[in-house]
Each structure stands twice: as C-alpha cells, then as structure tokens.
C-alpha cells in the first residue's frame, strides 16, 4: 500500500519578509503566511484528501500554519525543526546569501549551528518513524525550507526543485512504500 506524506514549508513570517535568518529562532506568520496556510487547507479539501495524522516542528510558525490547515490533533516534534544557524540566528540573510548548498553543508558549524547532514539525518529518521505507524496513510508534516531541502537531498538531487523555488507554503508530496520515499509532486503557492 502506498502511503502519502505531505511535507510543507510553513507560511511566510515576519523574518521571511525582512530577510532574516530564521532557524531555531521564531517569528509570527504574516497575513500572507496565514493566506498560504488557508490555501493549503483548500487544496486538501478540493482534492478530498482525508488526513489521518498531523505533525509540525516545535516552532510556533509551523504550528500556527498547521492549525490553519487542519483541525486534527497534532504533535510538535523537534525532529522536524529547521536547521540551527547558531550565532547567525536572527541576522540578515545577506550573511549567507552567496552560499551554495555544498558550501552550506558545514558553514554554520563555525557559529555553533548544525551541518546540513545532521538536519538531513534527523528529518529522515523522524519522517520514516512517522510513516511506519500503521494508521498513517495520509500524513501532514509542517516544517521549514532548509529542513525540507535537506530531507529531499536524502531522496534525490534537490537542485532541480531548488531552482524552481522553495517558497513559503510549498507542499512536497511523497509516496512512501517499503520504507522508501519517492517525490511525487511539488505544489508551489500561487500567492
């Protein structure tokens, strides 16, 4: 049986709007961010997708996004958190704007943050564990851009999708069968 994981980047936040590095630090959703969450809710309703489980990172921006999408009870999980950027948390994105994904693999370690591989491994462990639950056929997990990117690195070369953008509200639809994830489609927010 094929199970579906709907892995979503949270809606736009104040820090996103002001180009601030936002990993383990948090900021609230903007009006647009709330609209993005409601658009995801409409997507699930239109496609008649009955979610049977919902999860998000421990960041408020992720739980606020999830609560606008579904009324299901949910769990907040540290394994779904964004990358820790260490001392660069809350600073201007101009400090890391020119990093390639390869450069970023270990760049944040010097500032007390995480490596990309740590994030990839944590996301893979967490999402695999979730999808192994017997009653989890259609699962929503709200996470973050870097976390979603690094999880995709575990599955395939993410660069094609990265070039198309991982904007706020992007929804990655994965098939899960025999402990293997396959990216089925990426739905980008029109707003």
Which residues are marked as active site? Answer: 10, 82
Q: How far apart are the first and last CA of the chain?
A: 34
Q: Please say whether the beta carbons of 30 and 13 come within 8 A.
A: yes
Rounded-to-integer distance, Cα 157 and Cα 29, Å:
30
Please name which of 173, 183, 181, 179 lies closest in space to residue 47, comparing C-alpha atoms. 173
**Bridge-partner residues for 29, per DSSP?**
13
Q: What H or E segment, with its residue span, contains residue 123?
A: helix 116-131
Distances (CA, A) of 131 to 47, 56, 106: 21, 14, 29
How many Å apart are CA 174 and CA 127, to the nearest integer?
11
Task: Locate 89 and state its tokens.
Answer: 């948390």
């Amino acid at each position: 049986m094929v199970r579906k994981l709907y892995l979503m980047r949270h809606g736009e936040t104040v820090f996103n709007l002001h180009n601030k590095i936002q990993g383990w630090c948090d900021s609230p959703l903007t009006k647009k961010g709330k609209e993005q969450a409601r658009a995801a809710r409409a997507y699930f309703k239109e496609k008649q997708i009955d979610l049977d489980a919902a999860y998000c990172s421990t960041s408020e921006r992720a739980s606020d996004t999830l609560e606008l999408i579904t009324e299901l009870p949910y769990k907040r999980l540290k394994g779904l958190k964004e990358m820790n950027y260490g001392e660069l948390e809350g600073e201007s994105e101009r400090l890391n704007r020119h990093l390639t994904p390869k450069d970023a693999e270990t760049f944040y370690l010097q500032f007390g943050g995480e490596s990309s591989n740590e994030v990839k491994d944590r996301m893979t462990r967490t999402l695999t564990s979730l999808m192994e639950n017997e009653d989890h056929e259609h699962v929503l997990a709200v996470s973050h851009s870097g976390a979603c990117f690094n999880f995709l690195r575990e599955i395939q070369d993410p660069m094609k999708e990265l070039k198309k953008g991982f904007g706020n509200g992007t929804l990655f639809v994965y098939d899960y069968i025999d402990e293997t994830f396959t990216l089925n489609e990426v739905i980008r927010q029109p707003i």
